[in-house]
Amino acid sequence: MICGCNRLDKSVELMTEVIHINGRQDMHKIFIGLLLVFLDFNLDLGTSRIGLIPDFLGYISILQGLKEMENKSVNFLKVIPVTKLALILSIVIYILDLAGLSLNPDNRILPVAFGIVMTIISLYISYYIVQGVFDLQEKTGYDLNGNKLHTAWKLVAVFSVLVYPMFFILGLNIISIVLAFVFHIYFLHYFNITENTYKEYSVNKIQ
């Protein structure tokens, strides 16, 4: 009878771990959030701009993932307050876009200023996520692609910043935008590998 209870307890524990891996999908939430934040698609109607993939949805997903990972790295915990700030600002910007302030020819400075601020914040958040991946590598002993992810982040940072001074130079503005987009995809590709490798580690851990 005692043996049966022990087996039952082990089964319950195993099921709990499987639910933790497949249900919470903490790293996947961060990946989806980064995807929504990095990839912007807008519909312009007159002076109104409608974000087809609102950034605030991405920050909600990132925030959920970070909260589930906060006990695994201090870097995930550290960046939660900034992610909350990004969520609030992205909602404000979305409302201002709908109100037509972004495309108003008499008000060019405000949208550029918001763009610079949000770029800096998104780079800050993604940087600490990468540092969190390094922490996970050290704790698990698994190669979670941290070095390649960090290299991809550096490229994203460089070309995300270059977009703004290059914006006023015909030809170079298009090139910088395209390269920034390409390196965002490059970063997401490696983060997806990180996510899948971490999930593999989690599965192997309970076997």
Give the pLDDT score at 104: 62
Q: Which residues, 6+ apart, have CB-to-CB distance to 103 below 8 Å?
A: 44, 46, 47, 48, 49
Please state, for a pLDDT cut of 90, what percent of the chain lies above it: 46
Q: Output the CA torsion sign for 148, 63, 196, 41.
A: negative
pLDDT-wise least confident of 45-54, 63-72, 154-163: 45-54
Q: How does pLDDT run across 130-166, given as a tens digit for each residue?
A: 999 999 999 888 899 999 999 999 999 998 888 877 7
Cα 198 to Cα 154, 169, 195, 207, distances in angstroms? 22, 42, 5, 15
- The pair of three-digit structure tokens given for residue 193, joined into one six-digit string: 């590998």
Q: How far apart are CA 2 and CA 10, in angstroms?
A: 12
Cα 60 to Cα 33, 46, 71, 84, 147, distances in angstroms? 7, 29, 19, 8, 27
- The pair of three-digit structure tokens given for residue 128, joined into one six-digit string: 């600490």
Greater confidence (5 vs 120) lies with 120
Q: How far apart are CA 196 and CA 60, in angstroms?
A: 21
Cα angle vertex 80, ends 22, 129, to 5°? Answer: 65
Q: Please give the mean pLDDT across all residues of the chain.
A: 80
Give the pLDDT score at 102: 65
Give the pLDDT score at 107: 66
Query: For the chain, what are the domain ranges?
Result: 27-205
What number is the average pLDDT over the span 175-203? 88
Greater confidence (21 vs 131) lies with 131
Helix axes 109-140, 26-38, angle to 10 degrees: 150
pLDDT grade for 43, boundaries at 50, 70 and 90: low
Contact (CB, 8 A) for 186 and 150: no
Find, among 128, 123, 120, 129, the residue nearest to 155 by Cα.
123
How far is C-alpha 97 from the chain's CA centre?
22
> Does residue 16 surpass a pLDDT of 90?
no
What number is the average pLDDT over the span 50-71? 88
Q: How does pLDDT run across 68-107, given as a tens digit for each residue?
A: 999 999 999 999 999 999 999 999 988 887 777 666 666 6
Give the pLDDT score at 166: 76
What number is the average pLDDT over the span 168-194? 86
